[in-house]
Structure 1
Amino acid sequence: MSSTAPSSKPLSRPGRMRQAGFSIVELMVALVLGLLLIGGVINIFMTNQQTFRTNENLGRLQENARISFELMAREVRQAGGNLCGATLMANVLNNAGTAWTSNWDAGVLQGFDGAQVATGIVTTGTAVGERVANTDAVRVLSGGMFDGVTITSHNAGTAQITLSTINHGFGTNNIVVVCDGQSAALAKLTSATSGTSAVVAHDNGAGINDNCSEGLNFPTDCSSETGNSRAFQPGGFVTHMTASTWYVGNNARGGRSLFRVNAAGTEEIAEGVRDMQLDYLLRNSATGNLDSNWVNASAITDWTQGAAAQVVAVRLRLTLQTQAAVGTNQQPVERQLIHVVNLRNRPA
């Protein structure tokens, strides 16, 4: 009987595949490539973020510059003006010279160098709202160029002015400029009720804060109750008088800003204004000749309307700074901008 010996050859198993995986070298290469990719993405993100911060800060700087120049230049341009274009101004306010906001005769435009004390501003210091040392300031008085109400009639005997609307916006103790084509007058309203009456009064009364006279004619006469009286013509205007001083001060965030102070208080206008320097161009009142050079405020000794040399233009130089350190040297970006303002209300 024959027998067959078992074979030593292993049996094959169809369908079974040989298993394989990443080697340690392949895994390390993949990790390095992944890190390089992630690093590139992070670098792009950081670059875009820095670009965004830079553009945002530069945009804010430009916007602050635009606001500063637009608002300040508008007031400087209208210094001493009124809606009627009258050049003669009577001032019947009691003790007009004791407050800078009503002292028209001292000059409707007055500048202050960094070393000069500016009226209406706290002495230079470090507190919020105080003027920054060695920065210029400028004071502007105007007849209110943007809120005039038309005069319907004026009874000089009763010191009452009838306006074209009951919604005139005036109130008792408001300081106003009354004008027509002949002259203008600065006075305080002794009675006014907005929304119910179109009549406002400028009586001299008996109080020390009232007007020295009812008469609003030029020149001012405070020697009697009626003073130098005349009736302003229909078609004239009554406007709020504006008085403001512009300067660079400390803000509440540890930086500097452009500020505007008036009789109502101090307001912050634009952030990031580090410095303000002002120059003035003079014209000889007798000959009409312009000076050849700009001068600073300390070189001008007479700012009144009758001065031999009148300021006809102001050169504003503002230095602005971004809020964040977005410069290439890791410092805030600074820009100095210049704007020239011609005064409209100066006789040719």
Structure 2
Amino acid sequence: MSRSRLRRGAAATTMAGFGLTELMIAMVLGLIVIGAAFAIFQTSQTTFRSNEGLSRIQETARAAFELISRDVRAAGGSACSNFSAVEGADARTIQFRDNAVSGTTDSLRVVSGDDTAYRVVGSTAGSVTLHADDVDAASDVFAVNDFLILCNARKTHVVRATGVTGHTVTFAALPGGYVPTADIYAPPAAVVLARYRDVNWFVAGHGRPGGGSSLFVSRNGGDPEEVAEGVEGIAFSYLETGEDDYVDTPADWRQVVAVRVTMTLVGADVDGNQLRRTASNVVSMRGRTL
């Protein structure tokens, strides 16, 4: 064989491409790699959506528990001493004194004095004058028909405002003509006025397209306010003094010292499965445990 023919044969062998078998193997391997990458991408997306949904559920639960806990801790309390005797026999006074926490397994009612109280510099049996350093005008914080907590170190009264003028708030005369700032057994500087806070917590449908329910609160008999979306259900149980178990209906609401709140929360669907979690929180009534 001549040298030229040998060179042509070597060149032809060097330039030979992939055969059909090699090409099919390469395509199959490529598809496997692409499929694996797509599967990892889908898994990552599902994990991300699941974690995001769980985070939102946790944030909702944390915010809801904090708001409910704030009310329960304050139940039956005011800016005055716990030893200040609650005077009166009307329904709101009895609720404040004896049933600061009440309700059922699916709703909770809590009453207390508001966190913000205003100093009283003068009073009669049917009026108080607020400190000018606390408010520019009494009408900035109170209105006619507001229910209020008026107290000093010795006595607490639930009153309803009949007039708000300047720095003065008027109301029906206190029993026995009692004048808070003239009590010789309580310092005048300890007399304060605050709103009567009456809240009701419950879960109900929010009425938006697609359905679903939310946590609501009604304050002082007003319209319900939506607090947290995605709360499917709520359950309250109560612990009485000297008992070990929480019950749905206490024998004596005056002996309740703690409330357990259990919420069922739902999140967005992940691969057709709706996220659902149950969380619980126990809150002590500060006025009865300290």
CA distance in 2, matches of 1:347, 1:154: 33
Residue identity in the other structure for 1:149: Y
1: CA distance, partners of 2:93 / 2:261: 22
CA distance in 1 between counterparts of 2:149 and 2:98 reads: 17
The residue aligned with 1:257 is 214
> Conserved in 2, the CA contact under 8 Å of 1:171 and 1:191?
no
- Could you say which structure has the larger radius of gyration? 1
Alignment of 1:164-313 (within 5 A): 164-167=133-136, 169-173=140-144, 174-192=146-164, 197=166, 199-203=167-171, 213-215=172-174, 221=175, 227-232=176-181, 233-251=188-206, 252=208, 253-262=210-219, 263-283=221-241, 290-297=242-249, 299-300=250-251, 302-303=252-253, 310-313=255-258
Distance 1:46 1:325, change over 3 A: closer
Q: Deviations over 1:59-78 (max 9, x none)?
A: 11211221121111111121
Q: Within 5 Å, give how 1:107-118 maps onto structure 2.
A: 107-113=99-105
- TM-score (norm: length of structure 2): 0.79
RMSD value, Cα: 3.3
- Residues 55-109 of structure 1: per-residue CA shift (max 9 Å, x gap): 11111121122112111111112111001124422459xxx54xx7995467221
- Structure 1 residue 236: Cα displacement: 2.9
The aligned residue for residue 119 of structure 2 is 150
Matched residues in 1 for 2:26 and 2:173: separation? Answer: 94
CA-to-partner distance for each residue in 1:273-319, whole Å, 9 max, x for gaps? Answer: 22222222223xxxxxx13433222x53x53x5xxxx1112222222
The code of the aligned residue for 2:147 comes to: I
Q: Give the partner amino acid of 2:30.
A: G
**Count of residues in correspondence between the two structures:** 270
Structure 1: state its 5+ residue gaps.
1-9, 114-135, 204-212, 216-220, 222-226, 284-289
Higher relative strand content: 2
Offset, 1:249: 1.5
Cα–Cα, structure 1 residues 347 and 317, in superposed 2: closer, same or farther, change >3 Å? closer
Q: Decide whether the 8 Å contact of 1:91 with 1:187 is kept in 2.
A: no
Is this contact kept in 1: 2:257–2:289, CA < 8 A?
no
Q: Contact 1:91–1:104 at 8 Å: present in 2 too? A: no
- Does the 8 A contact of 2:87 with 2:93 survive in 1? no
Asked if the contact 1:312/1:343 (under 8 Å) is kept, the reply is yes
CA shift, 1:20, in A, is 4.9
1:137 aligns with 107
Which residue of the partner structure matches residue 27 of structure 1?
A: 23
Gaps of 5+ in 2: 182-187
TM-score, reference length from structure 1: 0.67
**2:184 aligned residue:** none
Distance 1:37 1:89 in 2: 77
